[in-house]
Structure formats: structure tokens, C-alpha cells
Amino acid sequence: MTDMTRISRLALALSGALLLAACGGGSHEGEAAGEAARRSSSAGLPEGRVAEGEQLAQTKGQATGQSCIDCHGPDGNEPLDPTYPRIGGQYADYLAHALLKYRDGDREHALMSQQAAGLSDQQIADLAAYFASRPGQLRDLEGVQ
Amino acid sequence: MTRAFTIAACLGLALLPQALPAQTPSEASSGASATASTGLVGNPENGRTLAFTCQGCHGVRGYRNVYPHYHVPLIGGQSEAYLVNALREYRQGTRKHPTMQSQAQSFSDQDIADLAAFLSGLKK
């Protein structure tokens, strides 16, 4: 066996091993990709559950003594204060993003920072899914002249 | 191997929206008088003109932010005072978003009041 042949065989064996490794890992990556597709946002949140979100939206936060709907109104559509946003029918991934920012201290509000501080990723996903599922008065600017 | 290609194809599709160029709305024109006072009364008609620049992102149905990847929010019909605060916070840098901070830089207090008056008045 010449040196060249030996090197060729070695290269072939190596590439075969790499191919097997790539295919072997494929199924796991496939599951991961499927999981990612079900998530509600790029933040890597679990899938939001509307029913759980509805319950949580009516639960008083420990720090503020207020629930979501205490301030944002039924379905998130009747804010108690003019500076509070309407959140009914808003995009779930945007709502989740806002809550994550408040929780992580990247966005600040006297009430919302405290309200979001104790929320888990799952709770944020649930609340976002619930308010996004509500009928709302919000709209995009498509066709607005 | 087929699976690997399928995964690659899925990833490609998932990344596609992010590959689209971010739209940079043209700079806002401002004919409104700028004042530093608070509690300004917004002029929705001037807001309508200024809001042209919002269309690049908020006017595209289902448009998603490039990174982090989420839908740009629905802002038509939003609370007026909330919109004023949001734009001021972006202008001050206390609320962070590259495009919105850049946009808000060009707005006076009166512009912000006008925009908020217009946007909050939009009906579904």
C-alpha cells in the first residue's frame, strides 16, 4: 500500500465517521427545530396557554396588589389610566417581549417592573397568549392614508 | 440524509424573514412648532403627515422585527398618553429599540403629541 492510498483510505474512513455523526445528530436537531417552531417568540419561550393566561391575568401580583385586568381592564381593552396601553388583541410575541424586558430590567415602569419581576417564562407566554387571543381595538397602519 | 436536508430547508425558511432587509422609513418631515412644555394638545392632521414614516414597519401587516424576532406592535387605536410616553422614552433612550430610538430622535414634543393624537384615533 502506497502512502497516498493509505491517506485516501484514512480520509474516506474519517469522512464516513463524520457523516454518521451528522446523521446521528440529525434526529435530535430535528426535534429541536420542531420545538423552536412551536415557540411563541425568538426569546425561546415555551408555548403560551390561553386558559392558564386567563387565570393569571386575574390574579393579584404580590408586589403591586393589582392584577393585569385591574389596570388594563377586561380583555385588556379598558385601561384604568390614560398612560396604560390597550393590550387586547396585541401580538403575543410583542407582549411577551415587553414582559421579558420589564422582568429583566431593560424596560422600566413603576408598576410593570414589579409586576413582571416574579413571572416565569411559562407565565409570560401564557399571559401573552391570553391577551393576544382577546378581541381588541388595536390595528396596524396598513392602508392608513 | 433526507432528514438533514429537511432540517436544513426548515432552518432556511425560518431564517428567511430575517434575511429580508430592514426597512428604514424616511426621515420625518416636521412642520410643527417644537416646544419643551408637556401636556401639549396633539394635532391629528399633522400627525397623519408625520405617521407616513411609521408605515415602513407598522404599516406592513404581520411585519416582524429582525432581532429580536417578534411582530412590531399594533399601534393604531392605542392609548394616546401611552404613545406619547413611549416615543419620549425612545427619544431619551430609557426605552430601547434601535429603529424606534432613531425615529424618535427626529421628533419634537409637538410632533410626538401630534403622532399620538392621530394614531390613537384610528379605528379598526
The residue that leads in pLDDT, A21 or B74, is: B74
Per-residue pLDDT tens over the stretch B13-57:
444 444 434 333 333 333 333 333 457 999 999 999 999 999 999
Which pLDDT belongs to residue A75?
98
Please classify residue B21 by burial: count the beta carbons closer than 10 Å to its beta carbon, then call 0-12 exposed, 13-18 middle and 19+ buried. exposed
Report CB contact under 8 Å: B123, A139: yes
DSSP three-state, residue B72: coil
The shortest CB-CB distance from A85 to any of B61, B78, B122 is to B78
Residue B94 has pLDDT above 80, yes or no: yes
Prior bond of A135 cis (ω within 30°): no
Which pLDDT belongs to residue A112?
97
CA A85-A91-A95 angle, 5° bins: 55
Which pLDDT belongs to residue A126?
98
Q: Where are the domains of chain B?
A: 40-124
The owner of cell 387571543 is A133
Backbone angles phi, psi at A124, to 5 degrees: -65, -45
Mutate to test the interface with A, among B6, B63, B70, B118 (most CBs of A within 10 A): B70
How far, in Å, CA of A104 to CA of A124, rounded?
12
pLDDT class of A33 with cuts at 50, 70, 90: very low
How far, in Å, CA of B117 to CA of B124, rounded?
16
Report CB contact under 8 Å: B74, A90: yes
Per-residue pLDDT tens over the stretch A37-51:
444 444 689 999 999
Compute how many other C-beta atoms are within 10 angstroms of the C-beta atom of residue A52: 16
Q: Does B73 touch chain A (CB under 8 A)?
A: yes
* CATH code, B40-124: 1.10.760.10
